[in-house]
Amino acid sequence: MLDRLPQASSGRAPDDGDNHGMDSLLELLTNAAARVADYREKAAEQPVFPDDADLDAVRTALGSLPDGPTPPDLVIDELVGAVETAMVATTGPRYFGFVVGGALDAATAADFLTIGWDQPAFNAFTSPGAAVVEDVAGGWLKDLLGLPAGASFGFTTGGQGANTVSLAAARHHVLAGAGWDVEQHGLLGGPPVRVVANGERHATIDRALRLLGLGAGVLEPVATDANGAIDVDDLGRVLASGPDGPTIVCLQAGNVNSGAFDDLAAATAQAHGHDAWVHVDGAFGLWAAASPATRHLTTGIETADSWATDGHKWLNVPYDVGYAFCAHPRAHAAAMSVSAAYLTGQGQGGLRAPGDYVVESSRRARGFATWAALRQLGRGGVAELVERCCALARRFAGQLGAVDGITIANDVVLNQVLVGFGDDERTDRIVESVQRSGECWMGATTWHGRRLMRISVSSWRTTEADVDRSVAAVLAATEAG
């Protein structure tokens, strides 16, 4: 059977006698790229969610594990034929769920290259090119987001990874300050760590604490205001009510439901007054710092100790990429770096080793798509994208809020809109009806005891016409429900 496998030297698929083989790898990849381009173009008009997809038929079409090899072109034909009808149009202009970006053209093409180059982006020996690009892109990100030039950074899988990396650095730093080496001795026998957080924090904070062995139960919640921003006075009360010792405070730049921002300057000053480490979870909200129109929301952000954000949200980089930044590079590297006799090349040629700042050693080169997105948009393009999405969110709120029986539950300060339609049951029916319509897709959430439609505007492809069309779909659902 081995003699039937494709030969690495030829780059050609095997010819099975049934004309399934491709002439070359170029032809195979060109075909795949054409399929992607066609899918992207159709995403603007096809149903946003494949409500009528037959998943049993998809499973059947995928078949069973074959006994022998299959020509690459046939593999791709079978894959597309089996699953494309079950895809969600997240790259289209009317997907408003989970703060998902639409994947910029240059970033998408760069991800094609990333796959083709197949670089293990661990250090300068595994890929000097990947190391340099990540170094450059990380510097651009810090500049764009108003973070300290000397901050370290790591390219992660997303916000969960970025929060986990940041809190690992925080854990190391605050315990080292108490004379405890957590990397050597673990948590058993060490001083307890307090974690104080916005009562409406994102669930990834809790999960990160579980993964780091601190446990979600260690969290001390702080009261929030009507829009979900932290109550700075209550933060002071909570900090003063507990014992002195290693302490981490988690703040938010962009409430996951309302988009509200904690008063980062005042809250960080309050926390630092208690010698606490301040982490800012800014999965999408951190991008407000990139626009002069919204930068005031992030005032004081540079005074924190660590920050987390996503690239596949507002920067519109393809899934998946997130970014962890740390004002204390030694703590960051101490928490994440790994050494072994066979891992040569750490810091080779003066280059930072990307693998020293994230959890994974085996990692794809996420810097290529990030660099491409930043290069395509430029500083002004990122600002315009943020401002346009915020304006479109206000357009949603203005049109829906003007209708009797519909309420806007949050102060729309960014790109998040929460919509109520009376009682909880009716709201859920309307959300489901809109999702099933295929015109657009919004999720649902529970916030301050109410079921609400959650609209997140973050795609570069969304226009005013898309908002108007989506509003029409929502209003049609209200009339029916």
- For residue 28, name the pLDDT band (cuts at 50, 70, 90): very high
Whether residue 155 is found in the same domain as residue 255:
yes
- For residue 11, name the pLDDT band (cuts at 50, 70, 90): very low
Whether 62 is in a domain gets the answer: yes
- What average pLDDT does this structure show over 121-144? 96
Number of domains in the chain: 3
Whether residue 23 is found in the same domain as residue 72:
yes
Whether residue 340 is found in the same domain as residue 405:
no
Whether residue 238 is found in the same domain as residue 258:
yes
- For residue 231, name the pLDDT band (cuts at 50, 70, 90): very high
pLDDT digits (tens, 9 = 90+) for 76-103: 999 999 999 999 999 999 999 999 999 9
pLDDT digits (tens, 9 = 90+) for 72-82: 999 999 999 99
- Per-chain mean pLDDT for the chain: 94
Whether residue 245 is found in the same domain as residue 194:
yes
Domain range holding 403? 380-480
Taking 80 as the threshold, does the pLDDT of residue 20 lie above it? no
pLDDT at position 344 is 66
Whether residue 73 is found in the same domain as residue 152:
no
Whether 32 is in a domain gets the answer: yes
pLDDT digits (tens, 9 = 90+) for 268-325: 999 999 999 999 999 999 999 999 999 999 999 999 999 999 999 999 999 999 999 9
Residue ending a domain, among 53, 86, 119, is 86
Whether 101 is in a domain gets the answer: no
Whether residue 282 is found in the same domain as residue 397:
no
Whether residue 384 is found in the same domain as residue 367:
no
pLDDT at position 342 is 74
Whether residue 177 is found in the same domain as residue 298:
yes
Whether 59 is in a domain gets the answer: yes
Whether 50 is in a domain gets the answer: yes
Taking 70 as the threshold, does the pLDDT of residue 176 lie above it? yes
Q: How far apart are CA 228 and CA 209, in angstroms?
A: 22
Residue ending a domain, among 36, 56, 86, is 86
Whether 95 is in a domain gets the answer: no
Whether 24 and 10 have beta carbons less than 8 Å apart is answered as no
Whether residue 115 is found in the same domain as residue 146:
yes
- The residue type of 202 is H
Whether residue 307 is found in the same domain as residue 388:
no
According to DSSP, the β-strands at 322-326 and 306-310 are antiparallel
Residue ending a domain, among 325, 341, 372, is 372
Q: What percent of the chain stands above pLDDT 70?
A: 94
Whether residue 295 is found in the same domain as residue 224:
yes
- For residue 346, name the pLDDT band (cuts at 50, 70, 90): low
pLDDT at position 191 is 98
- For residue 347, name the pLDDT band (cuts at 50, 70, 90): low
Q: What angle do CA 223, 228, 231 make, to 5 degrees?
A: 35
- The answer to whether the pTM exceeds 0.75 is yes
Residue 397: give its domain's CATH number.
3.90.1150.10
Whether 91 is in a domain gets the answer: no
Whether 288 is in a domain gets the answer: yes
